[in-house]
Amino acid sequence: MTSPQNGPEFLDRHLLTGMMDIMTDHVFILRRESPRYRLVYCNQAMATFMRLQPADLCGRRLDEIILDPDLYERIAGNYDKVLDAGHILRFEETTEGFEANQVRIFDTCLSPMPGTDGNSVYICGISRDTTARREAELALQQANETLETQLAENRELHRQLEEEAIRDPLTNLFNRRYFLESLTRELSRAHRETYPVTLMMLDIDHFKELNDSHGHSVGDQVLVEVSQRLCAGMRKEDVVCRWGGEEFLIMMPGLSLADAHVRIMSWRRDHSPMAVQLPGLSLAVSFSSGLATAPHHGTTTDDVINATDKALYEAKTNGRNQVRLYRQPA
């Protein structure tokens, strides 16, 4: 006769237990003894993690194995959810409250399982230690965040360098190179869409004498003050440039010569002469201005800038502190 211990039933159980014990995942079965749970099986990996042997764990209640009340409530609560749901659920569980030195993270799959007697209810679970994977994911996330921060800093530095390349360092107005590029684009667009582009060149009267009398530091402060008030008096679409020294060049797209003249005269009523208050010093600064417009006075950048410069020269040679419009030679 075949002995019960050597029969198919014993062989199947022996092989199944051996298979479970070579797994690195934690495999366990608990029986519901409302409202508690009793461990009826665990594999060697789980027992080793608990620093015990399977025989020392099996048969004990869950609250006798997990002594930390918060950890017990979290784990037992997951079991309750699985039984209420009646199907497989997955949870992320930690050993916080179990190990003082290191908290482990487990991906746990739980399934309700009825007993063969029709009355008993079991929980079958498999837990995989995902601590290393989560730490790697966290390290990768932190590396990505660091890289993104560095990229953002590089983009900001690139933006600053681009901004510095088109700005005058003293007044923060656009520089000559940017103005010429902008004027070239605007004249091309204006030619296609048939609208005027008016330029105004403005010069601070007697600026050399101001520098000679009060020093270049005072002259720089006057340039900054004039720049700020010029920008405040212009439209958003206007381009204000420090053309060089004490000269400024303003592009006003869409404004005819007459409309631009009205706007500049209005600005001059408020700012010419301009009262500039400096520590221990009060100055009255006046301006000479010349206006020209495209396409009436030129269709290229050189033509319209030269026409504006000639109008400014006429304002300066006729006594300064005035605005002159470009007059084409007869």
Catalytic residues: 246
Instruction: Answer whether 40's CB lies under 8 Å from 58's CB.
Output: yes
The DSSP letter of residue 99 is B
Beta bridge partners of 37: 32
C-alpha radius of gyration, the chain, whole number? 42
Residue 155, class by beta-carbon neighbours within 10 Å (0-12 exposed, 13-18 middle, 19+ buried)?
A: exposed
Copy the structure tokens of residue 40. 């009826």
Distance in angstroms (rounded) separating the CA atoms of residues 198 and 217: 33
Beta bridge partners of 209: none
Beta bridge partners of 122: 31, 113
For 167-186, the DSSP string reads: B-TTT--B-HHHHHHHHHHH
Given the DSSP bridges, would you call strands 281-285 and 197-204 parallel, antiparallel or unpaired? unpaired
Return the axis-axis angle of helices 176-193 and 131-166, rounded to nearest 10°. 80
Instruction: Answer whether 69's CB lies under 8 Å from 37's CB.
Output: no
Angle at 168 between CA 306 and CA 261, to 5 degrees: 45
Distance in angstroms (rounded) separating the CA atoms of residues 201 and 241: 10
Copy the structure tokens of residue 37. 């749970």
